[in-house]
Amino acid sequence: MKQKKFILQEKDIPTQWYNIQADMVHKPLPPLNPATKQPLTANDLAHIFSMECSKQELDQTHAWIDIPEEVREKYTYYRATPLVRAYALEEALDTPAHIYFKNESTNPLGSHKINSALPQCYYCKMEGDTNVTTETGAGQWGAALSYAASIFGLEAAVYQVKISMQQKPYRSIMMRTFGATVEGSPSMSTRAGKDIITQDPTHPGSLGTAISEAVELATTTPHCKYTLGSVLNHVGLHQTVIGLEAEKQMEMAGEYPDEVIACFGGGSNFGGIAFPFMRHNILDGKKTEFIAAEPESCPKLTRGKFEYDFGDEAGYTPLLPMYTLGHKFKPANIHAGGLRYHGAGMIVSQLIKDNMMHGVDIPQLETFQAGVLFARTEGIIPAPESSHAIAATIREALKCKEAGEKKVILFNLSGHGLIDMTAYNQYLNGDLHNYSLSDADIRKNLESVPQ
Ligand SMILES: *Cc1c(COP(=O)(O)O)cnc(C)c1O
């Protein structure tokens, strides 16, 4: 009998998150105050984020950080998640590679985002806040945050990227069902939103515009904290439950990955699955290759520039050291809404500089082709974001076939696509396109990076 699924017990859910910053040879550069150009302290960050997340953000000394018992208890509602050997996909590709995926789509919210929504809301609650606000793209983060806010008794206000809200109305309904208030961004409810609409009345919105609005709300509302679903170090930290579980499950399977692959928006699901394994590259001389799959239409990892840039369109956030396409970059309206972001997280940006990992760009049509093959073989319809990881995995598996190499490939299935049926419908009807960028486009957008 082939063993397909590797299941952990409740007691095997991690009790600590892994903080790769502590083990990195070159630490990430600090975020800067845009006015003074001085490195930010946890106290500076705590004006917008919970104090605990602010400390985690800048912690470069503790490799292991305790998961609060209340958070771990909520993790047990849907964790541990399965690790699956994708035999049917392997067969369809006729590859000697062994393909495994960690299935983060099994919780009721449908993506990995809940892993960080829970601790972020928990810390706000413990620190006496009553409200949380955030931005969301396709709506996975907004849905996860709305649910987490609801179970910890907080009010949530979510700014959703306007184009995603129109393309995917169901997630805003989910958020409202969990009790959150939802606005399409750019909206007329904030100064930042009004300014953007004045300049460009048809602006489709981006994660950058929505972040500007949520940060403005948090800084102008008492007891309201801002939360973020990606990009920042503490978000990637919370997501390491994925890789820590996968490490135990790969052991059950009797294998160790030669390649670890995840899709890349701001880097949280990538960091979540990759960092626990990368730890063994840093400390134990393992040679695992780490691949982050980004859209061809939003190629910050492969074609962006490493610079200090703003995290949002209006320039409200601290300056972050990252691979960026420029904070004014407007990504094409691809369906992988969660990957339409101009910059990469600070840890990942440093790891790319240090050649610890690399990015690959995938055209939209290739991602849907991969998603459909995965659905037809493994029976799970993947999120359009996750299909980037699947496409990158397929490329690697086909290389193995050509070379007759039996590599072990592990990828993260960051979410399911059951609320993205419009996107699949357009693909199946032949109505989707690729969007590539010329070097001139890239250069022009980089002009918005502050000097
Ligand atoms: C948000 C999201 C992503 C992208 O965000 P990362 O922080 O890069 O992980 C990928 N997949 C799904 C399903 C998402 O919801």
Query: Using one digit for the tens of pLDDT, what is the confidence trace for 321-345?
Result: 999 999 999 888 888 878 988 999 9
Tell me if 75 sits within 8 A of 239, measured CB to CB. Answer: no
Helix (H, G, I), strand (E, B) or coil at 266: coil
**Nearest protein CA to atom 5 of ligand 1, as residue:** 265
- Give pLDDT, residue 2: 80
E strand intervals along 266-357: 289-295, 305-310, 319-324
**Nearest protein CA to atom 10 of ligand 1, as residue:** 385
Identify the sign of the CA torsion 271, 274, 280, 286: negative
Distance 206 CA to ligand 1 centre (A): 15
Q: Which residues of the chain have pLDDT under 50?
A: none
What is the C-alpha separation between 115 and 111, in angstroms, rounded? 9
Other C-beta atoms within 10 Å of 265: how many? 31
What is the C-alpha separation between 381 and 390, in angstroms, rounded? 11
Judged by phi (left if over 0) then psi (alpha if -120 to 50, else beta), residue 229 lies in: alpha
* Eight-class DSSP state of 29: P
Distance 403 CA to ligand 1 centre (A): 32
What is the C-alpha separation between 155 and 180, in angstroms, rounded? 7
Is residue 338 lining ligand 1, measured as CB closer than 6 Å?
yes
Helix (H, G, I), strand (E, B) or coil at 362: strand
Is residue 134 lining ligand 1, measured as CB closer than 6 Å?
no
Is residue 113 lining ligand 1, measured as CB closer than 6 Å?
yes
**Nearest protein CA to atom 3 of ligand 1, as residue:** 338
- Give pLDDT, residue 1: 57
Is residue 265 lining ligand 1, measured as CB closer than 6 Å?
yes
Q: Which residues pair with 359 in a beta bridge?
A: 292
Helix (H, G, I), strand (E, B) or coil at 215: helix
- Give pLDDT, residue 67: 98
Chain position carrying tokens 């990158």: 392
What pTM did the predictor assign? 0.96
Distance 36 CA to ligand 1 centre (A): 32
Torsion of CA 103, 109, 114, 115, to 10 degrees: -20
Chain position carrying tokens 């029976």: 379
Distance 288 CA to ligand 1 centre (A): 22
Q: Cα 71 to chain center, whole Å?
A: 20
What is the C-alpha separation between 133 and 141, in angstroms, rounded? 11
Burial of 188 per CB tally in 10 Å (0-12, 13-18, 19+): exposed
Helix (H, G, I), strand (E, B) or coil at 156: strand
What is the C-alpha separation between 232 and 346, in angstroms, rounded? 7
Omega prior to 392 cis, within 30 of 0? no
Ligand 1 pocket test: pick from 105, 113, 241, 322 the residue with the most ligand atoms within 8 Å of its Cβ.
113
Is residue 269 lining ligand 1, measured as CB closer than 6 Å?
yes
- Give pLDDT, residue 337: 79
What is the C-alpha separation between 46 and 56, in angstroms, rounded? 11
E strand intervals along 125-216: 131-136, 155-161, 181-185
* Eight-class DSSP state of 222: T
- Give pLDDT, residue 137: 86
**Residue 260: which H helix or E strand, with range?**
strand 259-263
Ligand 1 pocket test: pick from 268, 346, 390 the residue with the most ligand atoms within 8 Å of its Cβ.
268
| C-alpha dist (Å) from residue 68 to 14, 71, 148, 152, 243 | 11, 5, 15, 14, 18
